[in-house]
Structure 1
């Protein structure tokens, strides 16, 4: 997903696309992996002096709710990234830098064999560890 796709989603759902909202989307489009609200506020403070955490969290929650951002929890803190909508896949997530690597294998075929007569509505599969760059530090 890119900023234009995300703006279209917001418009279709009746939300305004302010300069701040576009800048938030641009931040996540350029980010390489998951980022925190703190990362975002540091980026936005350069342009919007005194921007509040309430504004940041409200928009992060909205973007996650409408499917623009994916969320995960790392080290007890929520992290976000632009939603990957091109194809079904999962992620390896570096616990230090937040970078991700796509994993094409999905464990659901095996899991479904164990859950006969259960209706599975959704799933999420993530692997956490250190990427090669963070291992060498």
Structure 2
């Protein structure tokens, strides 16, 4: 388990600091991502929530996922044509290998921008994102 990612308590504090209500439903949503060490979909979250929240809507799931993403609680990626989310890493600069089957992530500590920036010497790079996709040892 990645111990350098945001946890449920930190995420709920961030929610409160930004003036959003703390609810049991939001805590359960955040806890779902906290216990995972991989990217998960809105559909995964919906399946997790349905037994305890009968009639929970897809709209509620998406609205909260986008709120959590905009506050920096979750990070996202597009995988197989669908948006996937995971708890935001809260430490040093790094990138991820992402399993295309199960969504597991592994940190990559080498940054390709160290070489690429030399080719962009007259450009101003504001940000970048680098992800490698493939299959983890359990899925290959």
**TM exceeding 0.5:** yes
After superposing on structure 2, the runs of 4+ consecutive aligned residues of structure 1 that deviate more than 3 Å are none
Q: Which residue of 2 aligns with 1:54?
A: 59
Q: TM-score, normalised by structure 2?
A: 0.94
After superposition, what is the alpha-carbon deviation per residue over 1:37-90, rounded to whole angstroms, capped at 9, x for unaligned?
A: 000000000110110000000000011111110000111000000000122111
For residues 6-45 of structure 1, the aligned pairs below 5 Å read 6-45=11-50
**Counterpart secondary structure, 1:60:** helix
Q: Which residue of 2 aligns with 1:73?
A: 78
Where is the helix percentage greater, Structure 1 or Structure 2? 1
How many Å apart are 1:29 and its aligned residue?
0.2
**Number of paired residues?**
135
Provide structure 1 residue ranges, at least 5 long, that are not aligned to the other structure.
Answer: none
Provide structure 2 residue ranges, at least 5 long, that are not aligned to the other structure.
Answer: 1-5
